[in-house]
Structure 1
Amino acid sequence: MNHAADQQLIEAVQAGDEVAVAQALAGGADPNAAVSRYQGSVLIEAARSGRLGVVGLLVDAGARIGPFGYFHVTPLRVAMLEAHADVVQYLIAHRALPAESTTRTSILTEAVSYTRHRPRPAALATLRVLLEAGATPHPGEEAPLITAVMRPVAPAVLRLLLANGADVNQQRSDGTPAIVIAARRGDHGAVDVLLQAGADVDTRDQQGRTALMHAVERNEQRVIAALLLAGTVIDTVSTDGMTALELARGWQHQNVQFMLGEHHAGLDDEPITRTVVRILPTSVRLTGDPQMLHLLANVIVIVLDDLGDDEWATRTGVDANTARAVALRLRNEVVPAPNASWYQLDVTADELAATRSALVELAYGTTRVLPAATSRLEIVDLLEELNRQHGR
């Protein structure tokens, strides 16, 4: 064992110096020398840093491509995690795939997941290399398309998987089709990609429910629109006797009822079989810069002054005193957040409803006065941002 040569090799690999690496190997350095217990071998270090030339020298010298050390790390996996597609391709060409450990998550499943955690072109290129090399999930793991939809990942990843042979109607291990999973999660981008690739818009899960039914229950209006535009059948009946329209009525999703063709919608008390638990906050925390929170106060005051208390209550369904109180709080009770740079105010659900109602009136109602230096489109944007966060 030549400790001096090994140390020379480690330093050369860390520096990415191919000449010095070759010299150290020629001087008797061990191509499997460990950089440290946690960093792994010199080959793993070279793969992590994306030094393809160094990787080649080490492999040619007999460096071990398979799992190394206590944590069973492989050069291929660290190259994938760092999105070095060229290194991944080289290692695969030198039989790195069969050398991967079967006791860890498969490298393909991990590569799909990583496109969400570290989305960048190189991660997509690395996934493409693995797919083209025939990488597969381990037995018991979900198909890559299901993994992608469940994460969820960007549409580009789904398109790549489909282009490389993924079944657009792939089912999860419990029989749930990919498009139903995407609809349940409100992922309209994934729904659109799957539909464009030919997914069956009316396929059902084990309970006989379609993607439309799940999207309706969850008030996912962009998903509903995509499914309706694709021609989904509205009056399909599930195994437990539900239709999409009955689910919309039972959850009192009035906008969805109109989307499904209803001309009148009220607060129906219709019993349904529900597959989701809905969260209804009784209070929320508004966070932002003081001027933005003060803007909300100004909007409330302007609309109250324009409509008057009775008209306000009629149009919004919110007590005028509640609106006046929250406007005062937005002006006087906003405080700095601990350990953060924003300001905040805790408000009740009724106070939030008053704030949103004022924005609706100023954005789309009859009130024409606007806060100083603010356009109506800015009010519309602010309203839509609140609606998106509040799940409307």
Structure 2
Amino acid sequence: MYAAVPRAVIEVSSRHAPHRVVVVDADAELVAAVGAADPVAVARALADGADPDSAASPYTATVLSEAASTGHLEIARLLVDAGASLRARRPQYESPLQSAVRNGHLGVVRLLVDSGALEVEGTDGGSLLTNAIAATWHRPQPAALDVLRYLLDLGVGAEPGKEAPIVRAVLGSAAPATIRILLSHGADPNSRRSDGTPALILAARRGDHAAVDVLLTAGADPNAVDGNGHTALMHAIERDERAVSRALLLAGADPAGALEIARGWQRQIVQFELGEMSVGLDDVPIARTAVRLHPTGYELRGDPAEFRRWGQLVACAAEELGDDEWDTRTGTPYALAQTVARRLVDEPAKAPRASWYRIELTEAELDTLRQAFVELVFAVRVTLPDGLGQEYVRDALDELDAQLSQQS
């Protein structure tokens, strides 16, 4: 039963007696019928003259987009047959096709495509693939994979100027099934992010050994390097991702340079895996690309250069927002952000029996550091210091969050 809709009551006088005529608001009737998922009521409202592009308010999507997002195929077909627009109601809204893709409704996707929705999407159609990939981790179900496969079969490609679909999948920690579908439809296992980082390294840095294995099986180069000359094996060892490093070694990754990194981080198990016969807590200087959160307390370990970059990023975010906005947006004091920025630059001290430097932060200071990264990734757009890019900040935030989740 669908919800009650507004009805206008008109009194008509006649010679015999006044009587009332009830006038139904057909558009409101249609909105209520779609919300109640009642195809019979939808058909009746359309027969009463309802606009198939009706919406609950000026600020909501059309009824076709609503039906597409919830997967009501019969209702979507009634609306399409009645002439509902396949376009997004406003530029900032999703089109009906985008809504169906994002929610993994293959039947509605097919209906809309058969009705010409791909042509309507035009140059915006590339984001369909992004939505389809995202659906496989936001709403993981077989239908999400079916939608992704269907779009790829149609030849839907990546958004112009955006990251390759397989890079987006790795960055989103997509399931191996998603990555395999992309690869089976021609994705390059050696694809690189816009900053030149291979997808294999992105997966290794995140400890995603399943994605690493899928990429290697598809022919990814285990010895590809990033802009710093580091391989996936080097990154995995720095981050103590042993399942990843083993997968890489079994795939033929060159251990050259990796043993020195294992010594520098005192990864003793990895040293044995790389062929060392005896290991110790050696003070071996190396160039680090990671800052690690020590399991006890809030001790950060890394190189002075990395700490300096982190301090500059905190200062950059704080200066861009200013005193009042920083306090409002982050919930942490502006003065504390200034303190954290200064401490990261000035206070890291060399560990007594290791080559890394370390600094102890309070819980509030660590939260302030994280909030600065969040603002730089998701909110403020500023010129970052020392030529650092958004990719660097996003990677730092992802790795910090991963370590914090391990401690919780």
Give the TM-score normalised by structure 2.
0.64
2:61 to 4, 18, 40: 40
Q: Residue 193 of structure 1 corresponds to which residue in structure 2?
A: 214
* 1:139 matched residue in structure 2: 160
Gaps of 5+ in 1: 236-242, 285-345, 347-387
Q: What is residue 37 of structure 2 aligned with on the other side?
A: 16
Q: 2:294 aligns with which of 280, 299, 302?
A: 280
Helix, strand or coil at the partner of 2:174 = coil
2:247 corresponds to 1:247: no
Q: Shift in Å at residue 13 of structure 1?
A: 2.2
Contact kept, 8 Å, 2:68 with 2:96, in 1: the verdict is yes
Hey, what's the Cα distance between the residues in 2 that align with 1:136 and 1:38?
Answer: 31
Q: How many angstroms apart in 1 are the aligned matches of 2:92 and 2:254?
A: 51
What do you get for the CA RMSD once the two structures are aligned?
Answer: 2.6
TM alignment of 1:90-101, pairs within 5 A: 90-100=111-121
When the two structures are aligned, how many residues end up with a matched partner?
A: 282
* Mapped partners of 1:44, 1:141: distance in 2: 25
Identity among equivalent pairs (%): 53
What are the equivalent positions in structure 2 for 1:26-37 lying under 5 Å apart?
Answer: 26-37=47-58
Q: Displacement of 1:390 after TM fit?
A: 6.2
Equivalent in the alignment of 2:315: none
Alpha-carbon separation, structure 2, partners of 1:74 and 1:29: 20
Among residues 91, 115, 130, which one is paired with 1:109 in the alignment?
130
CA distance in 2, matches of 1:91, 1:166: 26
Distance in structure 2 (CA, Å) of the matches to 1:156 and 1:67 = 30
Q: CA deviation at 1:177?
A: 1.0
1:266 aligns with 2:280: yes
Contact 1:182-1:190 within 8 A present in 2 as well: yes
Residue in structure 1 matched with residue 195 of structure 2 by the alignment:
174
Between the aligned partners of 1:247 and 1:60, the Cα distance in structure 2 is: 64
**Alignment of structure 1 residues 209-228 onto 2, 5 Å:** 209-228=230-249
Q: Secondary structure at the match of 2:278?
A: coil
Distance 2:278 2:296 in 1: 29
8 Å Cα contact 1:72-1:101 kept in structure 2: no
CA displacement, residues 165-223 of structure 1 (integer Å, 9 cap, x when unaligned): 11111111111111111111111000011111121111222222211111111111000
Distance 1:39 1:83, change over 3 A: farther
Residue 148 of structure 1 and its aligned partner are, at CA, apart by 0.6
**In structure 2, do the counterparts of structure 1 residues 282 and 11 end up closer, same or farther at CA, with 3 Å as the change threshold?**
closer
- Mapped to 2, the partners of 1:30 and 1:171 lie a distance apart of 47
Structure 2: how far apart are the matches of 1:41 and 1:122?
24
CA distance 1:129–1:103, change in 2 (3 Å): closer
Change (3 A) 1:160 1:203: same
What is the distance in 1 between the residues matched to 2:24 and 2:118? 31
Deviation at 1:277, TM superposition (A): 0.8
CA distance in 2, matches of 1:390, 1:51: 43
Q: Distance in 1 between matches of 2:276 and 2:58?
A: 66
Shift of 1:126: 2.0
Pairs within 5 Å for 1:129-168:
129-168=150-189
Is the Cα–Cα contact under 8 Å of residues 37 and 69 in structure 1 kept in the other structure? no
Aligned to 1:337: none
Q: What is the TM-score of this pair, normalised by structure 1?
A: 0.66
Deviation at 1:11, TM superposition (A): 2.7
Deviation at 1:19, TM superposition (A): 3.3
